[in-house]
Amino acid sequence: MSIQTVATQPIAGQKPGTSGLRKTTPEFQKHHFLENFIQSIWNGIGGVQGKTLVLGGDGRHFNTEASQVVLRMAAASGAAKVIVGQNALLSTPAASNLIRKRKADGGIILSASHNPGGPEGDFGVKYNTANGGPAPENVTAKIYAATQQISEYLIYETQDIDLSAIGESTLGGMTIEVVDPVADYAELMEQIFDFEALKAMFAGGFRLRFDAMHAVTGPYAKAILEDRLGAAPGSVINGVPSTDFGKGHPDPNPIWAKPLVDEMMGPDAPDFGAASDGDGDRNMIVGRGIYVTPSDSLAALAANATLVPGYAGGLKGVARSMPTSKAVDRVAESLGIECFETPTGWKFFGNLLDAGRATLCGEESAGTGSDHVREKDGLWAVLFWLNILAKRQISVADLMADHWKTYGRNYYSRHDYEGVDAEAANALMDNLRARLADLPGTSVAGLTVTAADDFAYDDPIDGSRSAKQGIRISFDGGARVVLRLSGTGTVGATLRVYLETVETEALDMDAQAALSKVIAAAEELAQIKARTGRNEPDVIT
Ligand code: G1P
Ligand code: ZN
C-alpha cells in the first residue's frame, strides 16, 4: 500500500451546476475525470487533512467504483475518517443528516439525482459542507478554480475496501466506518412525526402506495412505512435499488411515475400515493383522484405544520425558489411569517435555515424540506402529509379543496424543452433580456405586463449577490411567466418555462386550460417555437 502522486492536467467542463457536477457516466469514467474533480474539491476546501467526511451515493452505475476512488483519495490526502453508508449507499437527506449528526466537516454525495443511470446514463458528484447542505456558490467557485489549476492528485494504491459489512477498518492513517444507511435517518423521522398516530391510521386500514422507482429510497421506505408504521406489505413498490433504476427515469412526476398516477386515478385507488427520485430528495404526492403540485404541497404543509410534533411550535418562516408558485406566499401572509424567494437550487436555502429565518422550504421541481436537514427530503415530505391526514382525518382531495377555498388556487405548470441547441437557447434568453425594460405596461396575448426583470438574489444572511437567475414577467391579476435555462442538464440546453395564474373562484379547472392565456403570452414574448424549432414542450409537469 502506498500513496501515488499522479500527474494530471485541467479537464474542461468541471464547473459545478445547480447541484454539483453532473455529466454522462462515460464522461465521468474518462481518464482522470473523477480523480481530477475529487482532488479539486479537496484543494478548493483547503485540504482534508485531519477531517471527517461522510460518503454515500444513490447506487447508480459507477457508484461502487467511484466510492473506492473517493476513499483512496481521502486517505492519501490525510483525512482522519470517512463515514460511509453500507455498500456506499446513502440517500441525499440521510447523508445530510449524518454530516450534521456526526459533526463531520463535510461529505461527498455520488448522485445525478433524478437523471437516468446506467452505463449510458448520468453520474454526479456533489460536495456538502459541515451544515449538511450543498456547498454554497463561494465554495463551488473555489472548487471550479481548483479544477482549472490542477497538476496532480494523490491516491492510495490498494485493493478494494470492503463496504458490505458494518464496522470499522483503516486505510493508511484513515478510519473507514461503514454504517447502516437507514438507522439514523429513521430515528430522525421518529423524532419529528407522530408515529403513534400513523400506526393507528395504518392499523385502521389506510392504504398507501409508495413508488421508490428502483432507486435509493426503497430500503428507507420499507423500513419506515412498512416495518415501523405497519403499512401493508407491498405498499412500497419498485423498492429494490438497481444500478440503472430498472432502465427507468427516477423522476417522481406525472410523466415518469405515470403508472402510480394512473393507479391513483383508477377505480380502486389507495388512499395515498407517493414517489421519490434517484437519491431520495424529491417527492411526488398524489391523493385518490388528485395530483398535488409540489408548489401546492409546500403551501399545504405550511398551512398544516403545527399538526406535526416537530413543528408544533409554529414556523419561523418559509422559503421557495423563484419559479415555484406563490401559493405558499399567501399562507405565510396569513400566518404572519416571512416568505423568502431564492434562486433555483437547494444551496440557496442553507443560510436561511442555518440562521433560523426559515423552517420550511420548497421548489416546484418536487423538492420539499425543512430545517431538520440541509437537503430536500422525499420521505420526510411523505411522512409530513401522512401525519396531517392522520390528524385531520381527511382525504387529500378534500384537504386541497379546503386549502384552495381559503387561500385561492395557483394553477401551475412547467414546460420543458430538452436538448435544445445551446446557442439558440441562449439567444432566446438574451433577446428577451434585452427587451425587459420596455415590457411593463404593454399587452401580450391579452395580458398586461406589470413587471419584468432578470432575477437577482441578495442573500439576506451573508449579503452575497447571485445575478441572472431567470427571467420573470408578471401580469395584471397575479399571473406570471418565468424562463430559465437548466443547470443540471447534460446534453445541449434545456429551456424551462414556468407558468402560473391565480383563481379565487374557479377552483376546479384543468391546469393547462387555466393557463392557456399565460402559455400564449410566453410564446408571444419569447418566440419559443421559432427559436427552438420545437412545436411543443418535451415534458409538461
Ligand atoms: C433542477 C430543478 C431545481 C433543483 C435541481 C436539483 O435544476 O429545476 O429546482 O434544485 O434540479 O435537483 P435545473 O435543471 O432547473 O437547473
Ligand atoms: Zn434528487
Q: Pick the atom of ligand 1 nearest to 282's CA.
A: 12
Report the C-alpha gap between 326 and 480 in whole angstroms.
10
- Residue with CA at minimum distance from ligand 1 atom 6: 19
Sorted by sequence, the CB contacts under 8 Å of residue 351 that are 6+ apart come out as: 136, 459, 460, 461, 462
Ligand 1 atom closest to Cα of residue 364 = 9
Q: Answer whether 365 contacts ligand 1 (Cβ < 6 A).
A: yes
CB of 488 within 6 A of ligand 1: the answer is yes
Averaged confidence pLDDT in the chain: 96
Nearest CA to ligand 1 atom 10: 345
Which atom of ligand 1 is the closest one to the Cα of 346? 10
Residue 216, C-alpha cell as written in the block: 435509493
Q: What does the pLDDT average to over 298-310?
A: 98
Looking at ligand 1, which atom is closest to the CA of residue 18?
16
* Residue limits of CATH 3.30.310.50 in the chain: 409-540
Query: Each residue of 403-457: pLDDT tens digit?
Result: 999 999 999 999 999 999 999 999 999 999 999 999 999 999 999 999 999 999 9
When pLDDT is cut at 50, 70 and 90, the band that residue 18 belongs to is confident
Q: Which helix (H) or strand (E) holds 516?
A: helix 516-526
Asked if pLDDT for residue 137 goes beyond 90, the answer is no
Q: Measure the CA angle with vertex 98, ends 175 and 185; round to 5°.
A: 130
Q: How confident is the model at residue 491 (pLDDT cuts 50, 70, 90)?
A: confident
Q: Where are the beta strands (DSSP E) in 130-186?
A: 152-157, 167-171, 174-179
Q: What is the 3-state secondary structure (H, E, C) of 364-426?
A: CCCEEEECCCCCCCHHHHHHHHHHHHHHHCCCHHHHHHHHHHHHCEEEEEEEEEEEECHHHHH
Which ligand is closest to the CA of 91, given by its number? 2
Q: What is the pLDDT of residue 142?
A: 97
Q: Is 19 in the pocket of ligand 1 (CB under 6 A)?
A: yes
Q: Determine the distance separating the centroid of ligand 2 and the alpha carbon of 373, expressed in angstroms.
A: 14
Distance 486 CA to ligand 1 centre (A): 7
Mean pLDDT of 117-135: 96
Model-level pTM? 0.95
Protein residue with its CA nearest to atom 3 in ligand 1: 345
Q: Which ligand is nearest to the CA of 342?
A: 1
Q: Which of 347, 363, 466, 484 for a ligand 1 pocket mutation test, highest count of atoms within 8 Å of Cβ?
A: 363
CATH number given to 409-540: 3.30.310.50
Asked if 78 contacts 49 with a C-beta cutoff of 8 angstroms, the reply is yes
Atom of ligand 1 nearest to the CA of 17: 16
What CATH number does domain 2-180 carry, 3.40.190.10, 3.20.20.80, 3.40.120.10, 1.10.760.10? 3.40.120.10
pLDDT band for 489, please (50, 70, 90 cuts): confident
Amino acid at 328: V
In tens, the pLDDT along 512-522 reads: 999 999 999 99
- CB of 487 within 6 A of ligand 1: the answer is yes
Task: Give me the pLDDT at residue 459, please.
Answer: 95
Q: How far is ligand 2, taken at its centre, from the CA of residue 250, in Å? A: 9
CA of 496 to the centre of ligand 2 (A): 18
Q: Is the pLDDT of residue 282 over 90?
A: yes
Q: What is the pLDDT of residue 19?
A: 82
What separation in Å is there between the alpha carbon of 126 and the centre of ligand 2? 11
Give the list of residues 6+ apart from residue 142 with CB closer than 8 angstroms, or none: 44, 45
* Each residue's pLDDT tens digit, 176-218: 999 999 999 999 999 999 999 999 999 999 999 999 999 999 9
**Site to substitute for ligand 1 among 96, 279, 344, most atoms within 8 A of C-beta:** 344
Q: How many C-beta atoms surround the C-beta of residue 170 within 10 A? A: 11
Residue nearest to atom 8 of ligand 1 (CA): 365
Predicted local distance difference test score (pLDDT) of residue 384: 98
For the Cβ of 346 lying below 6 angstroms from any atom of ligand 1, the answer is yes
Which residue's alpha carbon is at the smallest distance from atom 2 of ligand 1?
365
CA of 163 to the centre of ligand 1 (A): 31
Cα–Cα distances (Å) from 464 to 130, 170, 343, in that order, read 19, 41, 12
At 248, phi and psi to the nearest 5? -100, -170
pLDDT of residue 490: 74
pLDDT of residue 487: 83
What does the pLDDT look like over 349-377, one tens digit per residue?
Answer: 999 999 999 999 999 999 999 999 999 99
Mutate to test the pocket of ligand 1, among 365, 495, 538 (most ligand atoms within 8 A of CB): 365
**Which ligand is located closest to the Cα atom of residue 95?**
2
500 Cα to the center of ligand 1, angstroms: 18
Residue 95: pLDDT band by 50, 70, 90 thresholds? very high
* Closest residue CA from atom 13 of ligand 1: 486
- List, by residue number, the catalytic residues: 113
Give the residue range(s) of CATH 3.40.120.10 domains in the chain: 2-180, 185-407
CATH of domain 185-407: 3.40.120.10
Angle at 421 (CA atoms; ends 243, 345), nearest 5 degrees: 55
Q: How far is the CA of 72 from the centre of ligand 1 (A)?
A: 31
Q: Give yes or no for residue 363 CB within 6 A of ligand 1.
A: yes
Mean pLDDT in residue range 55-64: 97
Judged by its nearest atom, the ligand closest to the C-alpha of residue 363 is 1
